[in-house]
Amino acid sequence: MDLKDSIYIGQIAKLHGYKGGVSLFLDVTHPEEYIDMESFFIEIDGILTPFFVESFKLKNKGFAAVKFQGIDTEQEAKSLLKKKVFIPETELRGLDESNFYDHEVIGYEVEDVVKGEIGKVTAIADLKQNPLLVIEFKDKEILLPIFEGLIVKVDRKFKRLKVKAPDGLIDLYLN
């Protein structure tokens, strides 16, 4: 599998125990969506290498205790530390038109139902308590908190997000 066909979901943060377990930081909005994964791809020396999951237990704050098949010692697990973890893009579940995966909306044009065109998504600030859409508009940065009801429509064909920002929020950035 190539990097272009994969989605970054996190990295191996630290050891978990002494029998080959690791702590996987899931840099995603909904870590619970990855509980049933049978395998992950870990980037080792620029090559995505498959590792099959023996056990997976979601912990707090986006961390999961993971044991991979064939990784049975602390020394073997140490070789995975700080490595990036990916899944095949084909593993992503289909979403309706009011939800999106963070990576897919980078570069999308954003239109507010009241203000009209407000710029282009440059990033998702994946803050656990308050994730934000980072939008660039005429050399300014607009930050919109992602909450239930913000996204009106995700138009994947035309790469556009239609949003309903809280009253007055966009004006704070434009004035």
Which CATH number fits the domain that encloses residue 118?
A: 2.30.30.240
Q: Do the domain assignments include residue 123?
A: yes
Summarised one tens digit per residue, pLDDT across range 35-74 is: 999 999 999 999 999 999 999 999 987 899 999 999 999 9
Number of CB atoms found within 10 A of residue 114's CB: 11
pLDDT reading at 128 higher than 70: no
At residue 13, the pLDDT reads: 96
- Cα separation, 41 vs 104, in Å, equals 19
**32 CA to centre of own chain:** 12
| Token pair 């995505």 in the structure block, residue | 48
- Same domain flag for 111 and 84: no
* Count of structural domains within the chain: 2
In a domain, 96, yes or no: no
pLDDT in tens, 143-172: 999 988 999 999 988 999 999 999 999 999
Around Cβ 90, how many Cβ atoms within 10 Å? 9
Contact 35, 56 (CB under 8 A): yes
Domain of 79, in residue numbers = 3-91
The arithmetic mean of pLDDT across residues 126-133, rounded, is 81
Q: Does 97 reside within a domain? A: no
